[in-house]
């Protein structure tokens, strides 16, 4: 009986295609006709808060970026911290004239949020995700070609909303590299290794963003060159017993397995739901500092996660977050230590941002023609048994014999639960890394 009910509520709540509710498309289900006769859905009060609405917009940019990256590497793991990319782009739009500004704003979905003061709301969003209790440090920086003269009318609002001053290269490669390294080290409290790569000589505009979470155990580091740099260690709320970690099979596909260290918790309290449309089991685990991670695990072993990826939007994730129910489960998760490095340039070019790399109008920055040049993203991710505490405080939950084994390809989404901001997204096809 309980099993049936569990399936029923998940089917009812997650299985009606709420995922298809992306930009503009009215959802089937609960249409309310408005005065024009077009059915519109009543907006969730959560998204009426300007900061949350902005977080949803830039996170939707993040899901887009993820989809493009993932489709470019169908057989490899993917890791991204889209927030840092979005922040750098949003800051850059301060220097863009109308045509270029609306190119950036469309990619970030600002055209849909009807907010006359995006940049000061962005300041509030950054203040929220970097509030002291979250232990997240975030900063970004715009770097310009050597000896460029820039307008103070660009610098002042940049500093006011994004808290960063632009950097103009000196043209001395060693000194420039050292200065960038020092800045990154200062922003991340030394958590990101110094880069030895040269600063590209053909830079016109280079964007750099840094985010860092203080904490131990579950640690996520992101290093992105050219565009953005992040380092994020968070923590499981409940730590894993390392004596229960053992070597187990991970199914790469229907035929191949690899043996990897898997952490397990026979009595984990997770938030869970079965999405019958996506044919996948969704679980959420809390992290410290109002963060959480949501896993998407197909019901059959497959490397083709396209259907799940296509459904990822801020609105869909928000629905999931509300509808999942606490259950006790036998949980296994591979220990992970991955790093990933790649260009985001091509991905951004596929996202209607090509014109930023060709002939954009940044005349609010300087009289000289400028363009975005190269964009790279380097990420690393690690999680292990450590967590904040050993005693789960279960609270009300369903007791139901449930297994949740992340022993086959899956997707995870790491969010700030206060604002819904997407901080990290990944596709894990092989936990040994690529």
Ligand X SMILES: *[C@@H]1O[C@H](CO)[C@@H](O)[C@H](O)[C@H]1NC(C)=O
Q: Catalog residues that contact ligand X under the rule CB under 6 A.
A: 304, 306-307
172 or 304: whose CB is closer to ligand X?
Answer: 304
Tell me the closest approach of the beta carbon of residue 306 to ligand X, in angstroms: 4
233 or 298: whose CB is closer to ligand X?
Answer: 298
Q: Is 230 in contact with 224 (CB distance < 8 Å)?
A: yes
Q: What is the Cα–Cα distance from 113 to 116, expressed in whole angstroms?
A: 9
Chain length of the chain: 434
303 or 363: whose CB is closer to ligand X?
Answer: 303
170 or 306: whose CB is closer to ligand X?
Answer: 306
41 or 277: whose CB is closer to ligand X?
Answer: 277
Tell me the closest approach of the beta carbon of residue 281 to ligand X, in angstroms: 17
Helices 98-107 and 82-92: angle between axes, nearest 10 degrees: 160
182 or 304: whose CB is closer to ligand X?
Answer: 304
Q: What is the Cα–Cα distance from 319 to 82, expressed in whole angstroms?
A: 21
Neighbouring residues of 360: CB distance < 8 A, sequence distance ≥ 6: 96, 100, 103, 370, 371, 372
72 or 307: whose CB is closer to ligand X?
Answer: 307
- HSE of 411, CA atoms in CB hemisphere, 13 A: 27
Q: Distances from the Cα of 320 to the Cαs of 48, 199, 355, in angstroms? A: 18, 42, 35
Tell me the closest approach of the beta carbon of residue 409 to ligand X, in angstroms: 12
Tell me the closest approach of the beta carbon of residue 305 to ligand X, in angstroms: 8
224 or 280: whose CB is closer to ligand X?
Answer: 280
Mapping DSSP onto H, E and C, the string for 348-367 reads HHHHHHHHHHHCCCCCCCCC
Tell me the closest approach of the beta carbon of residue 299 to ligand X, in angstroms: 13
* DSSP string over 136-158: EEEEEEEEESTT----HHHHHHH
Q: Return the residue matching tokens 């505490």.
A: 389
Backbone phi and psi for residue 415, each to the nearest 5 degrees, phi listed first: -130, 160
57 or 308: whose CB is closer to ligand X?
Answer: 308
Tell me the closest approach of the beta carbon of residue 110 to ligand X, in angstroms: 31
Tell me the closest approach of the beta carbon of residue 229 to ligand X, in angstroms: 32
Q: What is the Cα–Cα distance from 381 to 373, expressed in whole angstroms?
A: 27
303 or 373: whose CB is closer to ligand X?
Answer: 303
49 or 307: whose CB is closer to ligand X?
Answer: 307
Burial 115-127 (b: 16+ CB within 10 A, else e): eeebbebbbbbbe
Residue 105, token pair as written in the block: 């704003």
Tell me the closest approach of the beta carbon of residue 304 to ligand X, in angstroms: 4
Give the angle subtended at the CA of 218 by the CAs of 214 and 219, to the nearest 5°: 55
Tell me the closest approach of the beta carbon of residue 178 to ligand X, in angstroms: 45
Q: Is 324 in contact with 296 (CB distance < 8 Å)?
A: no
Own/partner long-range contacts of 244-249 (Cβ < 8 Å, ≥24 apart): 245/335, 245/385, 248/332, 248/407, 249/407
Helix or strand holding residue 413 (H, E): strand 410-416
Q: Return the residue matching tokens 């009300």.
A: 396
Helix (H, G, I), strand (E, B) or coil at 74: coil
Backbone phi and psi for residue 196, each to the nearest 5 degrees, phi listed first: -105, -5
Tell me the closest approach of the beta carbon of residue 252 to ligand X, in angstroms: 15
Tell me the closest approach of the beta carbon of residue 277 to ligand X, in angstroms: 11
* Residue nearest ligand X (C-beta atom): 304
């Amino acid at each position: 009986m309980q099993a049936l009910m569990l399936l029923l509520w998940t089917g009812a709540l997650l299985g009606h295609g709420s995922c298809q509710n992306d930009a503009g498309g009215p959802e089937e289900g609960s249409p309310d006709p408005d005065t024009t006769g077009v059915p519109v859905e009543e907006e969730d009060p959560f998204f009426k808060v300007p900061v949350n609405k902005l977080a949803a917009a830039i996170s939707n940019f993040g899901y887009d970026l993820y989809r493009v990256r993932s489709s470019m590497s169908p057989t490899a793991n993917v890791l991204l911290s889209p927030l840092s990319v979005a922040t750098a782009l949003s800051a850059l739009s301060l220097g863009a004239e109308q045509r270029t500004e609306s190119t950036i704003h469309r990619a970030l979905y600002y055209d849909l949020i009807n907010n006359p003061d995006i940049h000061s709301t962005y300041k509030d969003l950054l203040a929220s995700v970097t509030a002291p209790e979250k232990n997240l440090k975030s900063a970004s920086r715009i770097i310009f070609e050597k000896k460029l003269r820039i307008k103070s009318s660009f610098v002042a609002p940049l500093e006011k909303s994004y808290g960063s001053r632009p950097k103009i290269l000196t043209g001395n490669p060693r000194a420039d590299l050292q200065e960038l390294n020092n800045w990154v080290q200062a922003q991340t409290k030394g958590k990101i290794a110094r880069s030895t790569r040269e600063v590209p000589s053909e830079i016109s505009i280079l964007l750099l963003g840094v985010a860092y979470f203080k904490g131990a155990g579950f640690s996520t580091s992101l290093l992105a060159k050219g565009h953005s740099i992040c380092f994020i260690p968070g923590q499981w709320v409940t730590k894993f017993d390392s004596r229960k970690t053992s070597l187990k099979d991970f199914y790469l596909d229907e035929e191949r397995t690899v043996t990897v260290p898997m952490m397990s918790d026979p009595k984990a309290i997770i938030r869970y739901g079965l999405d019958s449309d996506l044919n996948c089991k969704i679980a959420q685990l809390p992290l410290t500092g109002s963060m959480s991670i949501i896993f998407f695990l197909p019901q059959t072993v497959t490397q083709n996660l396209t259907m799940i990826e296509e459904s990822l939007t801020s609105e869909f994730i928000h629905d999931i977050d509300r509808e999942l129910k606490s259950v006790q489960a036998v949980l296994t998760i591979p220990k992970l230590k991955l790093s990933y490095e790649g260009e985001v340039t091509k991905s951004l070019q596929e996202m209607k941002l090509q014109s930023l790399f060709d002939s954009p109008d940044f005349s609010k920055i300087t009289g000289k023609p400028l363009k975005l040049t190269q964009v790279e993203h380097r990420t690393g991710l690690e999680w292990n048994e450590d967590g904040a505490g050993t005693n789960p405080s279960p609270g009300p939950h369903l007791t139901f014999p449930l297994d949740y084994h992340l022993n086959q390809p899956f997707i995870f989404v790491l969010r700030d639960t206060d604002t819904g901001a997407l901080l990290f997204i990944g596709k894990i096809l092989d936990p040994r890394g690529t």
